[in-house]
Amino acid sequence: MKFIKLTKIFGLSVLLAFTACKKYGYEIEDGYPDDSQNTAEGTIDTNMKVIDKSMYAKARVFPGLVDQAEPRVKDAQFTLDLNFTDQTAQNLRISVAPSPQYSTGYYAAPGELIKIIVPAGIEGLVVQIGAHTDNLAGKFPLLRDPVVYSRKQLVSGVNYVRNLYGGHIYILASFAYPNPITFTISGAVVSPDFILGKSNDAEWVAQVKASQVPWLELRAKSVIFTIPRDKVMATFNSSEPFTNPTAVFTRWNDVFDLDYNAWMGLSENAADIRDRAPQSQWRGILDIQLSVGYGHSGFPFVGLNDAYWFASFTSLKSITTSSGQWGTYHEFGHNCQQGSIWSWSSLGETTNNLFSFKVANRIGANYNILHPAVSSGFPEAVAYASAAGAKNFDTDAFMTDKDKGPFRKMTPFVQILEKYGYGAMTHLYIEARHAPRLNSNDITKHNFVYEKLSDYTQTDLGPFFDAWGILTSIAVRDKVAAKYPQLNTQLWTYNPLNKTGGTAVIVPQIFSVSSNQSTEGSPANMLDGNTATYWHSQYSPAPSAAQSYPFNIVLNQGNRVSAKGMYFFPRNSTAQRPKDIEVFVSNDNSNFVSVGTAQIPNAFARYEFLFPAGAVNAQYYRVVLKNSWTANNTLASLSEMGIIK
């Protein structure tokens, strides 16, 4: 029976650790799959003095060895409170949520056997050795072995586990226990961890200096960072010594409590589990090689083990100014994206960065220092939104530029947050968590953001979405327009960097013309109130057939307005005066309906065309100039045009 039970334990260990039991009679967790088909025989060697040094050379490279002089504990005890609510990514509708992974404060030396005694009646626990869970399989060249952590199911009573690379020791829980649980451990060493609220800064510094453990943890209520001890030691003689973890991690708690959890509308004691903040800490870790990128999201999120990422974890100056924090906020932001509800496909590298602006706004930091591309990307985006003509936020080359595109796409979100308050994002996150269904395509996600932000602002933001070229459905536009007054200012011209603009009243614009002579006349001249100026169709170089009659002119009123007709004022020149016209109206600049035909008199005078069926309510008015008063003339010109309210 004992042999059968051990065999079952071995099998479960294989599944959990991505490793295999080999013929040696004990677990050899070396990060590689076992294709030998050998069957484990006998029992695990429980001699605590036996050290498997077969991976010492690789463990020395990463994550490092533990000096034999470092004391190994015997029958030490640690207590964990496992009374948690497992807040899942599905509940929160975010990409990644922290899972119940509990730090023990102990570290396993490479190849050394660890004994853990679990109290009777305790089940559903797994021990993990190693914090570095990034799997580098397929990477070349490898700077470390692809898998350097292991997991094993724990049972009540005595458990033995070893990892040939060593690492921090964690307990993973699959369900909660109402009362704290005390474990007994032997063979491990004490990790020089800092625990906010328990550790003393000076004592911690002394502990780090005295330790020979290669990695340590910095632990706070909401976040845990795993960093190399040698980098901490190096700071002690630098211009910014890391001797103040209490101050740094008090700030980190603020960031996660106020700028991540609270901003997403999450609290610890929310009645609805969907609004409950994760009870497990978010984790970040440094590694010498990543499975992808310079940093990537996940649990834990991973950054390259260099000076930049280390400072982003530990520098008080960095976290109090937001300078140098882009990477950490960026990756944690990826974890918090709600891609299944509203963060549509072209916002993958955009909405995650909004958390950087939330932190900066709270602490009064200058947005320009967040990232070099912000200072140019925002003004460029404002110019894009302010320009007339057809736009598509998701596909235009200007907005999809590899380097600046994500920053330009942040601009409309920051404009809303700056002008209506950062609570707009809280509203969006809460509504997304409580939405009755997921959104499967980009247009429904556009609609969701448009409708929910309009609800928050109590304003129909349709003109704002139009200016940015964020397409929305006509049915949703009608629904929102029936509830709220339309936006009446050019919000899209607001520059969040210098807090200017965005206050001008929305005015009509010539959205498009099918032909224009760039050197003579401008479409905007038809709206300037001056009959001496005019628009002229192209004549040089010679226009193509598509640039001759019929000409199409689309007038965008900026929002939906009721009009009983349109007026026209021909140019003070008989040669290019249009004759027969037809007017179409639309609310989405796509589906147009004819409201009548007319003939503009051949005179330098205002002509008013009243729609035969009465007033219409529309945003876009398309005028089709069908022909000219002058025979065989292919050119057209107009001085003024507009709607009659």
State the CATH number of the domain containing residue 185: 2.60.120.1250
Residue 41 inside a domain? The answer is no
- Say yes or no: 313 and 351 in one domain: no
Nearest CA-CA partner of 110 in 37, 28, 24, 207 = 28
- Say yes or no: 306 and 347 in one domain: no
Domain final residue, candidates 320, 346, 366: 320
- Say yes or no: 583 and 449 in one domain: no
Give 21-26 contacts, CB < 8 A, sequence gap 24+. Answer: 26/52, 26/162
Mean pLDDT calculated for residue range 134-142: 94
The pLDDT score that the predictor gives to residue 588 is 82
Report how far residue 501's alpha carbon sits from residue 311's, in angstroms, rounded to the nearest whole number: 36
- Say yes or no: 109 and 169 in one domain: yes
Strand partners, 641: 568
Handedness of CA 128, 133, 138, 139 (dihedral sign): negative
Residue 201 inside a domain? The answer is yes
Mean pLDDT calculated for residue range 523-533: 95
The pLDDT score that the predictor gives to residue 545 is 73
User: What is the DSSP code (8-state) at residue 115?
Assistant: E
Mean pLDDT calculated for residue range 471-493: 93
Q: Residue 596, SS3?
A: strand
- Say yes or no: 480 and 566 in one domain: no
Residue 596 inside a domain? The answer is yes
Please, which pLDDT band fits residue 388 given cuts at 50, 70 and 90?
confident
Residue 621 inside a domain? The answer is yes
- Say yes or no: 314 and 223 in one domain: yes
Residue holding tokens 């950054």? Answer: 303
Q: Which amino acid is at 516?
A: N
User: 216 and 232 in contact (C-beta within 8 Å)?
Assistant: yes
- Say yes or no: 637 and 515 in one domain: yes
pLDDT at 589 over 90: no
- Say yes or no: 428 and 564 in one domain: no
Domain final residue, candidates 320, 353, 379: 320
> Cα-atom radius of gyration of the chain, to the nearest Å?
33
Helix (H) or strand (E) holding 3: helix 2-17
State the CATH number of the domain containing residue 409: 1.10.390.30
Candidate from 292-296, 539-543, 596-600 with smallest mean pLDDT = 539-543
Residue 1 inside a domain? The answer is no
pLDDT at 17 over 80: no
Residue 8 inside a domain? The answer is no
Domain span including residue 202 = 55-320
Report how far residue 450's alpha carbon sits from residue 455's, in angstroms, rounded to the nearest whole number: 9
Nearest CA-CA partner of 112 in 162, 47, 160 = 162
Residue 441 inside a domain? The answer is yes
Handedness of CA 334, 340, 343, 344 (dihedral sign): positive
Residue 75 inside a domain? The answer is yes
Please, which pLDDT band fits residue 444 given cuts at 50, 70 and 90?
very high
pLDDT at 315 over 50: yes
pLDDT at 385 over 90: yes
- Say yes or no: 198 and 137 in one domain: yes
- Say yes or no: 307 and 437 in one domain: no
First-last CA distance in the chain: 91
Q: Which amino acid is at 316?
A: L
- Say yes or no: 349 and 422 in one domain: yes
State the CATH number of the domain containing residue 532: 2.60.120.260
- Say yes or no: 307 and 348 in one domain: no
Q: What percent of the chain has pLDDT over 70?
A: 93
The structural domain count of the chain equals: 3
Residue-wise pLDDT tens digits, 85-120? 889 999 999 999 999 999 999 999 999 999 999 999
Residue-wise pLDDT tens digits, 149-178? 999 999 999 999 999 999 999 999 999 999
Domain final residue, candidates 462, 493, 524: 493
Using alpha carbons only, what angle is made at residue 312 by residues 309 and 314, rounded to the nearest 5 degrees? 110
